[in-house]
């Protein structure tokens, strides 16, 4: 599987807004990507959603590989069974964009997607992974930051264990 993480819109919003509950976790993840030279993929679908309220700072954009939504992405999105993830009786306009982002992550063979949207985007990713339609791991900011999330074997760093122990003693 290719290395790299595809950002969901909610991750980018949380990273940009210091007032959001998971901002510090998003910042730690971003720093981890940079320090470990993990390719950061940014879909033009995410750009279109994010830029409704603000532009992406140039210093952040320079760190990303921008992925245009193209023909192959459209075909991959069409093959995902999106009706299975749509809640009964609920119309979610963002569902179509979520499916496009998920399809792009699957098509580029991303290792991870990261999101702050646990109610829908993360659930959609999990449903598609459980069905074998995608292979990437979906990471949600609600779980906090742990280097093990980005390790294929779930291996924790000894510094993480020491920090967790000191937090428990506090």
Q: What is the pLDDT of residues 56-90, one digit of tens each?
A: 999 999 999 999 999 998 889 888 866 666 655 55
For strand 5-7 and strand 112-115, is the pairing parallel, antiparallel, or unpaired?
parallel
Distance CA 48, CA 80 (A): 21
Residue 63 lies in a domain: yes
Residue 70 lies in a domain: yes
Return the ∠ at Cα 70 (arms to 64 and 76), rounded to 5°.
105
Which pLDDT band holds residue 93 (cuts at 50, 70, 90)?
A: low
What is the CATH classification number for the domain harbouring 117?
3.40.50.1010
Query: Would you say residue 162 has pLDDT above 60?
Result: no
Residue 130 lies in a domain: yes
Residue 166 lies in a domain: no
* Model pLDDT, residue 20: 97
* Number of domain units in the chain: 1
* Model pLDDT, residue 157: 59
Which pLDDT band holds residue 168 (cuts at 50, 70, 90)?
A: very low
Give the H/E segment covering residue 19: none
* Model pLDDT, residue 78: 82
Mean pLDDT, the chain, rounded, equals 86
Return the higher-pLDDT residue of 135 and 2: 135
Residue 161 lies in a domain: no
Sign of the dihedral through C-alpha 63, 127, 107, 71: negative
50-56: average pLDDT = 94
Residue 138 lies in a domain: yes
Could you tell me the residue range of the domain that residue 122 belongs to?
A: 5-150
Nearest CA to 120 out of 9, 21, 28 is that of 9
Residue 162 lies in a domain: no
Residue 53 lies in a domain: yes
């Amino acid at each position: 599987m290719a290395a790299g993480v595809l950002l969901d819109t909610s991750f980018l919003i949380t990273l940009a807004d210091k007032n959001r509950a998971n901002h510090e976790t998003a910042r730690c993840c971003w720093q981890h990507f940079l320090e470990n030279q993990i390719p950061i993929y940014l879909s033009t679908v995410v750009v279109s959603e994010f830029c409704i309220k603000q532009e992406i700072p140039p210093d952040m954009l320079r760190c990303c590989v921008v992925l245009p939504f193209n023909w192959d992405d459209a075909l991959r999105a069409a093959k995902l069974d999106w009706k299975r993830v749509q809640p009964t009786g609920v119309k979610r306009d963002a569902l179509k964009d979520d499916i496009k982002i998920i399809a792009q992550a699957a098509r580029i063979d991303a290792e991870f997607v990261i999101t702050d949207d646990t109610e829908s985007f993360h659930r959609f990713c999990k449903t598609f992974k459980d069905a074998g339609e995608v292979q990437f791991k979906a990471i949600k900011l609600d779980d906090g930051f742990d280097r093990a999330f980005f390790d294929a074997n779930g291996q924790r760093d000894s510094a993480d264990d020491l920090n967790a122990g000191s937090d428990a003693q506090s």
